[in-house]
Amino acid sequence: MSDNSSNAAYWSANVRIILISLVIWALVSFGFGILLRPMLAGISVGGTDLGFWFAQQGSILVFLALIFFYAWKMNKLDAEHGVDEE
């Protein structure tokens, strides 16, 4: 029974990390790039407004950062549950 509870804890933590990453990605790409763009138009970044920057480059950079964050967190989670690669 403890093996099943360990598997459930592992997958629960895995799904939580995925959901957090997806929420951050949706907020940055859809929220900042589209919905909140008019509010961010007054802030200048590199000669353009912040909303345009998020729509063109920021969401891609955040996505790449989330990939590295996910890999780091999953390596840590794998080591905690004894399923890491050696």
Please spell the DSSP secondary structure of 18-51, one letter per residue: HHHHHHHHHIIIIIIIIITHHHHTTSEETTEEHH
Question: If we measure between CA atoms, which residue out of 57, 78, 55, 59 comes closest to residue 67?
Answer: 59
Grouping H, G, I as helix, E, B as strand and the rest as coil, residue 1 is: coil
Contacts of residue 76, defined as CB under 8 A and 6 or more positions apart, other chains included, come to: none
Whole-number mean pLDDT of the chain? 87
Distance CA 83, CA 86 (A): 9
* 1 pLDDT higher than 50: no
User: Which of 23-37, 40-54, 63-77 comes out lowest in average pLDDT?
Assistant: 40-54
Q: Where are the domains of the chain?
A: 2-81
pTM: 0.79
Checking if the pLDDT of 24 tops 70, the result is: yes
